[in-house]
């Protein structure tokens, strides 16, 4: 078997594609004006900025005036949640509803608000990794300010019933925000049709560069100032605009939302082959609902294997992937997402996330399916944990 390079970590970040880079290039060396300047060079930057805003709005089903550019998904999440919380607290509403398996940009923001005196309800996601609409309904109180539930989970790819949750929120007059960073470009999203009040999106998860994203805020919902200074982003977020990044982001988003059903069908077929192939290895399980998941997400736990060792061995074989044990982020605790599904610590530790994209080929899948079983076998042969699992089985434990 010939060694290949296979990038299967598109949920972590993606490559900037050629059309996106080409759209950006003129804004570095030729169209470098400050969008606030009044001469032609500045006006041209301003025009590019506003055309990009119009395009981003169009890609999400929003109006141009409802889009604020940010430095990415984390900033958009922080801004939306903190602004809604602080504004509604003035009306005596200090309760927030979210889920246990949100991205840390949402969870840590909620935890910071708890320290300020807000009360937060963390809804469960059950074994399939999906929030129940009924739970949202039951959790809403008189003093609930905001519900924030992610559109699709970044680790296990499960897609949440967002239009249904939004409808429940509106019935009860509660604001609804969604972190749609993983979903945009993979699932068809129309903020108006789906009743979304606020939505976060990030560029680098959809083939734009890192450090750019946007927050959609429905017209009529006031939003706090994020950065004081100039009048950029309608006086809400000061600082000279990153025109090149914004233009690239708009281009990447435009490409991402095109032909979603066709792309999803192709990617889902590859992903299913990946899942079925890996589940042939003994003592494995698929994490998250099999069908209500992002086309490119495959998350499998291997009993008796350490996630880190698996990643290192895959790296030696040219495969970039990610694991559910969070040692990479400086913590020994397994992922909060996998624990939320009810996985035991040692099983969560042996998890592998492969996130494929439109650029993945059948040959890439063949290669992964050749490498992973061999690597898993070798790691288990050296694992005392695996030895114990097998011994317990032989002695009739299971
Ligand atoms: C990547 C990611 C973020 C953070 O986006 P950045 O642009 O990297 O700040 C937030 N939420 C989810 C679900 C993500 O996958």
- Going residue by residue through the chain, which has 398 residues, state the pLDDT in tens, using 9 for 90 and above: 789 999 999 999 999 999 999 999 999 999 999 999 999 999 999 999 999 999 999 999 999 999 999 999 999 999 999 999 999 999 999 999 999 999 999 999 999 999 999 999 999 999 999 999 999 999 999 999 999 999 999 999 999 999 999 999 999 999 999 999 999 999 999 999 999 999 999 999 999 999 999 999 999 999 999 999 999 999 999 999 999 999 999 999 999 999 999 999 999 999 999 999 999 999 999 999 999 999 999 999 999 999 999 999 999 999 999 997 655 555 667 899 999 999 998 899 999 999 999 999 999 999 999 999 999 999 999 999 899 999 998 887 55
**What pLDDT is stored for residue 396 in this prediction?**
75
**Residue 100 and residue 123: Cα distance in Å, rounded?**
6
Q: What is the distance between the terminal CA atoms of the chain, rounded to a whole angstrom?
A: 37
Q: How far is CA 286 from CA 104, 217, 328, 368, in A?
A: 23, 36, 22, 16
pLDDT confidence of residue 346: 87
Report the alpha-carbon distance of residue 226 to residue 284 in Å, rounded.
45
Q: How far apart are CA 90 and CA 72, in angstroms?
A: 28
Total count of residues recorded for the chain: 398
Q: Which residue's alpha carbon is at the smallest distance from atom 14 of ligand 1?
A: 181
Specify the ligand 1 atom closest to the Cα of 102.
13
**What own/partner pairs with CB < 8 Å and gap ≥ 24 does 35-44 have?**
35/232, 35/240, 35/241, 35/243, 36/230, 36/231, 36/232, 36/240
Rounded distance from Cα 27 to ligand 1 centre (Å):
25
Buried/exposed code over 57-73 (b: 16+ C-beta within 10 A; e: otherwise) = bbbbbbbeebbbbbbbb
CA of 139 to the centre of ligand 1 (A): 26
Instruction: Look at residues 241, 202, 199, 187 and name the one whose alpha carbon lies nearest to residue 31.
Output: 241
Phi, psi (deg, nearest 5) at residue 45: -65, -40
Q: Is 103 in the pocket of ligand 1 (CB under 6 A)?
A: yes
- Testing ligand 1's pocket by substitution, the residue of 74, 109, 152, 203 carrying the most ligand atoms inside 8 A of its CB is 74
Contacts of 72 (CB under 8 A, 6+ apart): 202, 203, 204, 210, 211, 212, 213
Distances from the Cα of 387 to the Cαs of 181, 331, 342, in angstroms? Answer: 40, 26, 24
For residue 397, the model assigns a pLDDT of 57
d(CA 308, CA 327): 8
Residue 244 neighbours by CB under 8 Å, 6+ apart: 24, 25, 27, 28
**14 CA distance to ligand 1 centroid (A)?**
12
Q: For residue 334, what pLDDT is reported?
A: 87
Ligand 1 mean position to 387 CA, how many Å?
38
Ligand 1 touching residue 150 (CB < 6 A): yes
**Among protein residues, the one whose CA lies closest to atom 6 of ligand 1:** 73
Q: Give residue 326's pLDDT.
A: 53
Q: How far apart are CA 27 and CA 43, in angstroms?
A: 13
Å from CA of 154 to ligand 1 middle: 8
- In the annotation, is 327 catalytic? yes
**Mutational test site, ligand 1, from 72, 156, 203, 206, max ligand atoms within 8 Å of CB:** 72
Contact 149, 98 (CB under 8 A): yes
Q: Give the per-residue pLDDT at 104.
A: 97
């Amino acid at each position: 078997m010939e060694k290949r390079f296979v990038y299967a970590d598109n949920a972590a970040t993606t490559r900037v594609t050629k059309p996106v880079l080409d759209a950006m290039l003129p804004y570095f060396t030729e169209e470098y004006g400050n969008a606030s300047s009044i001469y032609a060079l500045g006006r041209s930057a301003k025009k590019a900025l506003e055309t990009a805003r119009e395009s981003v709005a169009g890609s999400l089903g929003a109006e141009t005036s409802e889009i604020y550019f940010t430095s990415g998904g984390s900033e958009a999440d922080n801004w939306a949640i903190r602004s809604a919380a602080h504004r509604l607290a003035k009306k005596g509403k200090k309760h927030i509803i979210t889920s246990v398996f949100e991205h840390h940009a949402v969870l840590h923001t909620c935890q910071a608000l708890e320290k300020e005196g807000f009360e937060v309800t963390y809804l469960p996601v059950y074994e399939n990794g999906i929030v129940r609409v009924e739970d949202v309904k039951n959790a809403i109180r008189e003093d609930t300010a905001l519900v924030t539930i992610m559109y699709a989970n970044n680790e296990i790819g499960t897609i949440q019933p967002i239009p249904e949750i939004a409808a429940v929120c509106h019935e009860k007059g509660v604001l609804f925000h969604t972190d749609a960073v993983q979903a945009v470009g993979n699932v068809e999203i129309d903020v108006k049709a789906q009743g979304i009040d606020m939505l976060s999106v990030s560029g680098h998860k959809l083939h734009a560069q890192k450090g750019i994203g946007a927050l959609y805020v429905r017209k009529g919902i006031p939003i706090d100032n994020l950065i004081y200074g100039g009048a950029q982003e309608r006086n809400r977020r000061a600082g000279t605009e990153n025109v090149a990044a914004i233009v690239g982001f708009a281009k990447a988003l435009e490409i991402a939302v095109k032909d979603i059903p066709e792309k999803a069908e192709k990617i889902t077929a590859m992903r299913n082959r990946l899942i079925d192939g890996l589940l042939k290895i003994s003592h494995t399980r698929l994490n998250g609902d099999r069908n209500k998941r992002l086309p490119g997400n495959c998350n499998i736990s291997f009993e008796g294997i350490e996630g880190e060792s698996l990643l290192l061995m895959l790296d030696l074989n040219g495969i970039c992937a990610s694991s559910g044990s969070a040692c990479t982020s400086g913590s020994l605790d397994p992922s909060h997402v996998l624990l939320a599904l009810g996985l035991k610590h040692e099983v969560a530790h042996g998890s592998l996330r492969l996130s494929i994209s439109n650029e993945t080929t059948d040959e890439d899948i063949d290669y992964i399916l050749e490498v992973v079983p061999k690597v898993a076998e070798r790691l288990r042969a050296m694992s005392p944990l695996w030895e114990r699992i097998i011994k317990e089985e032989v002695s009739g434990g299971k």
